[in-house]
Amino acid sequence: MRSFTFTHAITRKPSASIVAGLRAVDTGAPSLGLMIQHHADYIAALRSTGATVVELEALEAFPDSVFVEDTALCLPEGAVVMRPGAPSRLGEAAVMAPHLQALYKTVLHIENPDSFIEGGDILTTETEILVGRSARTNASGIAELAARVALWDHKVREVFTPPGVLHFKTDCSLLDGETILSTERLAASGCFDGYRVIHVAEGEEACANTIRFNDLVVMPAGFPRTRDTLDQAGYKVVEIGNSECAKLDGGMSCLSLRFSPS
Pairwise CA distance, residues 202 & 188, whole Å: 14
Active site residue 254: yes
For ligand CIR, the binding residues (CB under 6 A) are 21-23, 64, 67, 69-70, 86, 89, 119-120, 166-167, 170, 248-251, 253-254
15 or 253: CB nearest ligand CIR: 253
- Residue 151 — φ and ψ, nearest 5°? -60, -25
41 or 233: CB nearest ligand CIR: 41
CB of residue 234 vs ligand CIR: minimum separation in angstroms?
26
22 or 56: CB nearest ligand CIR: 22
CA–CA distance from 196 to each of 163, 175, 177 (Å)?
A: 24, 10, 10
Residue number, nearest CB to ligand CIR: 120
CB of residue 109 vs ligand CIR: minimum separation in angstroms?
19
115 or 256: CB nearest ligand CIR: 256
CB of residue 136 vs ligand CIR: minimum separation in angstroms?
7
Catalytic residue among 167, 191, 199, 207: 167
CB of residue 160 vs ligand CIR: minimum separation in angstroms?
16
CB of residue 175 vs ligand CIR: minimum separation in angstroms?
17
205 or 249: CB nearest ligand CIR: 249
- Enumerate the active-site residues: 167, 254
